[in-house]
Amino acid sequence: MESPLSKDDDFKEKLSPEAYRVLRQNGTERPFSSGLNQETRSGTYHCAACDTALFAHTAKFDAGCGWPSFDQEIDSDNIQRITDTSHGMIRVEIRCTECDSHLGHVFPDGPTETGTRHCVNGVSLSFKPD
């Protein structure tokens, strides 16, 4: 059985230091720093750590918050929701179910019929155009 340490070492080798800090250490990238904010092509957004498909381009919208935002996930089984009480707030953290990487948070203030806004660190995602 593979130890968690060796898996963590694999992530350190695969990810940039910033991606590792966000995905594996629950960090947050600076707002408006991701090129994915402006991405408008058709395609799919995947977990940058393990390549699990997370969001379709049709779910993306501009929330003006500085991070890529989506109103729904491709498959709810691919994203785990966890209560996050850090920083004196109560929020819902979203993590990749496959590799347990931190993606961002989900809020109940989305503008579409889902009413949700998945606020995702761009460095947590890879984009695959159709």
d(CA 68, CA 54): 12
Closest-CA residue to 7 (of 98, 68, 89): 98
Neighbouring CB atoms inside 10 A of 111's CB total 13
Active site residues: 119
Six-digit token string for 82 = 């966890």
